[in-house]
Structure 1
Amino acid sequence: MTNRTTSRRNFLKGGTAAATGIVFCSCGLLERAHAQGAPRALPVVVNGKKVKTIDVHAHCHFREAGALLGADAAAVQLPPVRGAAEAFIEIDKRLKAMDAQAVDMEVLSINPFWYGRDRDLAAQIVKLQNEKLAELCASKPDRFAAFASLTLQAPDLAAQELETAVKKQGLKGAAIGGMVAGVEFSDPKFYPVWSKAEELGVPLFIHPQGVAELSKRLSGNGWLGNTIGNPLETTIALSHLIFEGTLDRFPGLKIIAAHGGGFLPSYADRSDHACMVGPAGCNADIKLKKKPSEYLKQLYFDSLIFSPQAIRHLAAQVGPAQIVLGSDYPYPWQMNPVDHIFDCDSLSDDERVAVLGGTAAKLFNMAT
């Protein structure tokens, strides 16, 4: 049976309980509180064992990097969405937010805004950001890790940046968009980057930027450019990596897909039938080593899909061991990311531990 209790630091001190006349039966009280909607707090405990919770999907910005864009800085780094200002991290404020979310560690990333810039400017932005990320993580190594930024429009440079970030700056991999200036990640020009990531054994975190080509159809009410466009871009990016044979070429490549992998895990089995039904739309020279849907079991997916039912479906499709915790903080998509992992009754205790932080710790070679 799952013990879903958590404890609050310094919850009872000295004679506080006696002085107030309150008697606490901690396990039952906290269990009832969670059942009534109270969020969990640190430390998180599963079946009597403390778990290190690792949020792999958390964002930040650095004003110094944006300043390199001149007049464009504000539009890039302060979009009109809730939480944008908190992306400029004030450490004490961010730590309080993490504590409230029951998150021990955030793996920070910066959404690419430099892919359309010239090589030299993009390289300056990336260099500054990686240095700032390394400095921030070194200041609180128990609470922060980070994905490097890469100048992916210049793959030769990006491969060098990744090696420097991992070997010299202590960063844990790299955050990338969904494509680069209209070029899919399956394009051979990116092979040097994927090869370097495979060699270093570090993950790449795919975070979409939306599908600009559909801007007209996605206009109107509902912020469809994000609501539909972001998960759609991830779906397209992963599908190209599968169908173009990129994942066969780099079988050791570790990819984490944001937002539960977009729409792909919800309809992956359709991919297994496409070339049988419409062979004219498939390249007979590309012979995949397994069914398209089976590649999902070698990818990783964050848990930012909002409900225990969605987690149950994703786990059934890709396997619980392929899911890692994600919140998108400071953007308020999911302010209690730990809770719906506990609320997913199809997960065993061991599977909960893996999703909450165990799998991420292995991916990033961290101690738990």
Structure 2
Amino acid sequence: MTVVDINIHHLPEDLFTNEKILNGFLDSAPRGFGEIARVETMDSGKKHLILEKPAGHQNLNYVEGDYSVEAKLAAMDDAGVDYGVMRVPVWQEWLDLETCRAVNDNAAEIVDRSEGRLFSTACVPPWGGKENIYELERCVGDLGAVGVQLACHYGQLYLDDPVFEPYLKVIEKLDIPVIAHHTPLPVEWRSVVDYTNLRREYGRIVDQATAVGRELFSGMFDRMPGLRFIHTMFGGNWFANAELLTPHASNKKEALTRLDPTGGEKIQSYLDHNIFFDMTHPHSWGKHQVEAAIKIGGADHHLFGSSFPVFYSWMGQGVEFVQNELEISDAERELILSGNAKRLFGLPI
């Protein structure tokens, strides 16, 4: 059975040796909002790029050598992954256009060197200026990007904000899917920052669930019905929230209507046509939870992803989990492992 991993992280291969590109990453982190970016040398001699918020609380770690085409293909061979879709993990929330161009150019080089096994997504600032639009069109038209990546939010703004609509309308016109990756922390981050797992895992769930909810309730898919968003982290466990957030009308006369009982069918329509989910290292979530997500959201709405190289083991463990541990049909397994990726990204596989 063909396996496509839609969550393989990409950074420029010369990130740690090209001073201009490295500074592009370091200088883009908004220090005024408490984001601290730095590089240190590990005991192994490898360089290590770290993002902290606040100081002393690490949220992102990138190790030199993990992002080469050779590292990607070797891990894929070891895990039984046939194809991969690359994205810049999290950092695209801040990158300037010039740095994005360098990121996109290197992604295209990796795609060429992978001999058809890797595909790229466009990394572009999401504002509607002409130069940003030109770069998006260059990525899709000239570099062969199969989708576009966005962060769940930019600063304080989630993707339902009107400021993003000019850019999103171009994406809709190009008919390419959006990978909406989580950011290091949600907008409201102070309640989860003190404990590592709460900060680095639950914080991403909060970010994704907030983003999905705002997109669904905003009506943005009425204005842009062709948009297709693929959210990481199972959309922040959205399968557990959908019924709760679209309550049924009461069968009694209530003194006060505290929740909006309308709109459930419209929300379900958006979930059917506009929202899909990246099964981010699915074995980490647990067998019963993943099976529940597939049963509720549908196998045709879930795509396998590993977050390689956060943990090298996640790719192989994730493939084995989907192939051998989930109690689902072979047709559902095929959709999750490759069919949905082929359809949504238009992969020539």
TM-score (norm 2): 0.79
Deviates more, 1:210-219 or 1:133-142: 210-219
1:303 is paired with a residue whose SS is strand
Cross-structure match for 2:173: 199
Which residue is equivalent to 1:310?
Answer: 289
Query: SS of the counterpart of 1:98?
Result: helix
Find the aligned partners of 2:314 and 2:271 in 1 and give their Cα distance.
24
Q: When the two structures are aligned, how many residues end up with a matched partner?
A: 311
Secondary structure in 1 matching 2:244: helix
Paired position in structure 1 for 2:276? 300
| Offset at residue 86 of structure 1 (A) | 5.7
- Which residues of 2 match residues 316-355 of structure 1 at below 5 A? 316-332=295-311, 334-335=314-315, 336-355=317-336
Superposed CA deviations along residues 118-160 of structure 1, whole A, max 9, x for unmatched, are xxxx011111111111111111142211111111245554433
1:164-193 CA-partner distances (Å, limit 9, x unpaired): 111111011111111111112111221122
Deviation readout 1:248-303 (Å, 9 max, x if unpaired): 22222111111111122222111112998986787x9xx95834244322221112
1:108 aligns with 2:86: yes
Q: Name the residue aligned to 1:68.
A: 24
> Alignment partner for residue 258 of structure 1, among 216, 229, 232?
232
| Aligned residues of 1:66 and 1:73 also touching (Cα < 8 A) | no
- Cα gap change, 1:273 to 1:289, in 2 (>3 Å): closer
Counterpart AA for 2:22: G
Q: Normalising to structure 1: TM-score of the pair?
A: 0.75
**Residues 337 and 202 of structure 1, relative CA distance in 2, 3 Å threshold:** same
Read off the aligned partner of 2:299 and give its amino acid letter: P
Which secondary structure state, in structure 1, belongs to the residue aligned with residue 154 of structure 2?
Answer: coil
Question: Which runs of no fewer than 5 residues in structure 1 stay unpaired?
Answer: 1-50
Aligned to 2:137: 163
Question: d(CA) in 1 for partners of 2:5 and 2:99?
Answer: 25
- Cα 1:176–1:82 change in 2 (3 A) is closer
Shift of the 273–358 alpha-carbon distance from structure 1 to 2, 3 Å rule, reads same
What SS does structure 2 have at the residue aligned with 1:270? coil
Partner of 2:6: 56
| 1:64-103 mapped onto 2 (5 Å cutoff) | 64=18, 65-69=21-25, 72=37, 74=39, 77-79=49-51, 84-85=62-63, 88-103=66-81
Matched, 1:137 2:116: no
Matches of 1:168 and 1:279, distance apart in 2? 54
Identical aligned residues as a percent? 20
Give the match's secondary structure for 2:308. coil
Q: Specify the structure having the higher radius of gyration (Cα).
A: 1
Rounded Cα–Cα distance in structure 2 between residues aligned with 1:60 and 1:99:
17
Paired letter, 2:271: L
